[in-house]
Amino acid sequence: METKIASPAGAWLALAKKLIETGEVVAFHTETVYGLGANAFSDEAVLKVFALKGRPADNPLIVHVHQDFPISSLIDGEPSYAAALREAFLPGPLTMVYPSKGKVSKYVSCGLDTLAVRVPSSPAAQAFLKSADLPVAAPSANLSKHVSPVTAKHVFDDFNGKIPLILDGGACTGGIESTVLDCTGEIPQILREGLVTREMIARVAGRCEVYRAKRGERPKSPGMAYKHYAPRCKTAYFTGDRLGEAEAAYLNEAEGGGAPCFLCESEVCARLEGYRSLDLGSSPEEAARRLYALLRRGEEQATLLIGVEPREKEGVMAGVLNRMRRAFGVEHGTEEG
Ligand code: AMP
Ligand code: MG
């Protein structure tokens, strides 16, 4: 199969619609990362997404809809704060988990009685979803465990020859996956941190918790239990106060004939003058936007990628840190402790 990369307009949108309607898979741009989309009503199409990615069968998918789609047709009631959250943050990088009416394929939610719904804001995503005009189940368009894609080229690198079409909307400006928010209880609960932060949600809903699975408990968001976002090279990870050890790891790799490289904030890059480094920038938003592209560049160019943890831990950086720790194997979720 030839994999075409095309702009989300004109005849390509018509082709995307036809592909989705006939049970094929289409990759598309969103403001967070690229998605690998399929008709959420079709068992066969949804299972194709799992098979293509090599995604574990108990890791549910998010359903994506355009901004005028009647989500009440998919969800079975909602708490009082949900409408205000939609008004404040949608379209945008916030996924809301509702009680499900069970209208979409049972494989979307992997047997859970809830449904995760997202309304992406990128014009490319809206054009695609409006054209398809049905709920599109879509995980990130990367092979399972690999780094999430933030350009059409990243998607192509993972799925060349395996999918018919990638709708290219340019580089993703958000850069990390959406915030996943459980809206089935009295208090909204963040299952996955992202660009819409706990503070932002609490300001609108009055309260907001961050869910942390207890040891041995099946996590509420099954995906968070898996090793994720891993670059395909050796990695090491140090907190900012252990820069000496990070330098020693770098020198050791270089002495052995390898090609080490740091991944760190601008300020740390500047302190590591003379060493090779990939620059996460100097704000949480910049770090979010750059992280995945740099992890992919790191795996191509380095034999050992050495992450240095940013100092800031709150707000948007909480989401970045979650992805960074998991990419570097420091935090695999509850499954591996
Ligand atoms: P991905 O699409 O690869 O970014 O992953 C989707 C994330 O949303 C995973 O962490 C899933 O566990 C989570 N998710 C999807 N549907 C649900 C749901 N019904 N309840 C809780 N988490 C969900
Ligand atoms: Mg993913």
Q: Are residues 68 and 31 in the same domain?
A: yes
Q: Are residues 52 and 163 in the same domain?
A: yes
Closest CA to 326 of 149, 145, 157, 197: 145
Tally of domains in the chain: 2
18 found inside a domain: yes
Q: Are residues 51 and 192 in the same domain?
A: yes
User: Which of 97, 105, 322 for mutating ligand 1's site (highest number of atoms within 8 Å of CB)?
Assistant: 97
Q: What's the CATH code of the domain at 59?
A: 3.90.870.10
Q: What is the pLDDT of residue 332?
A: 57
The CA 263 to ligand 1 mean position distance, Å, reads: 27
| pLDDT tens digits for range 76-102 | 999 999 999 999 999 999 999 999 999
| pLDDT tens digits for range 147-198 | 999 999 999 999 999 999 999 999 999 999 999 999 999 999 999 999 999 9
Q: Are residues 118 and 267 in the same domain?
A: no
The owner of tokens 């790799």 is 253
47 found inside a domain: yes
The owner of tokens 């054009």 is 127
Domain stop point among 166, 194, 210: 210
Q: Are residues 302 and 153 in the same domain?
A: no
Q: Are residues 37 and 180 in the same domain?
A: yes
What is the DSSP annotation of 53-88? HT--TTS--EEE--TTS-GGGTB----TTHHHHHHH
Q: Are residues 238 and 204 in the same domain?
A: no
The CA 221 to ligand 1 mean position distance, Å, reads: 6
Q: Are residues 140 and 282 in the same domain?
A: no
For the entire predicted model, the pTM comes to 0.95
Q: Rounded to an integer, what distance in angstroms lies between the CA atom of residue 154 and that of residue 172?
A: 11
Q: Are residues 152 and 52 in the same domain?
A: yes
Residues in Cβ contact with 283 at an 8 Å cutoff, skipping those fewer than 6 apart: none
The residue contributing the CA closest to ligand 1 atom 22 is: 221
Q: What is the pLDDT of residue 221?
A: 74
Q: What's the CATH code of the domain at 271?
A: 3.40.50.11030
Q: Are residues 184 and 238 in the same domain?
A: no
| pLDDT tens digits for range 19-56 | 999 999 999 999 999 999 999 999 999 999 999 999 99
Confidence of residue 226 (pLDDT cuts 50, 70, 90): low
Domain stop point among 178, 210, 242: 210
132 found inside a domain: yes
Q: Are residues 20 and 60 in the same domain?
A: yes
> Is residue 115 lining ligand 1, measured as CB closer than 6 Å?
yes
Q: Rounded to an integer, what distance in angstroms lies between the CA atom of residue 38 and that of residue 331?
A: 30
Q: Rounded to an integer, what distance in angstroms lies between the CA atom of residue 284 and that of residue 290?
A: 10
Q: Which domain holds residue 182?
A: 4-210
* pLDDT above 70 for 280: yes
Atom of ligand 1 nearest to the CA of 59: 12
- Rounded mean pLDDT of the chain? 95
